[in-house]
Amino acid sequence: MTLFDMTGKVAVITGSTRGIGLAIAGRMAEHGAKVVISSRKADVCDKVAKDINAKYGEGRAASVPANISSKENL
């Protein structure tokens, strides 16, 4: 049973390389959203995006490393 459908939506999830953010990114991808994986460390963002793409299809996740406390990064 599908509780919600996010097909055609893009979700930007900050802090999405671990913990609750990672779980949210995975579930949104599972329900059809394209997800933007964002955290401070590029290598970890890249790994999470690669894992989501492997599980839910290429192009489902994109890695955009950023420190959201920095105006320059935003």
pLDDT tens digits along 56-66: 999 999 999 99
Whole-prediction pTM value?
A: 0.89
- CA-to-CA distance for 9 and 68, rounded, in angstroms? 22
Tokens, residue 18: 């671990």
The enclosing H or E element of 43 equals helix 42-56
What interhelical angle do 19-30 and 42-56 show, nearest 10? 30
- 37 has pLDDT over 70: yes
Q: Is 46 within 8 Å of 20 (Cβ atoms)? A: no
- 43 has pLDDT over 90: yes
Tokens, residue 15: 């802090």
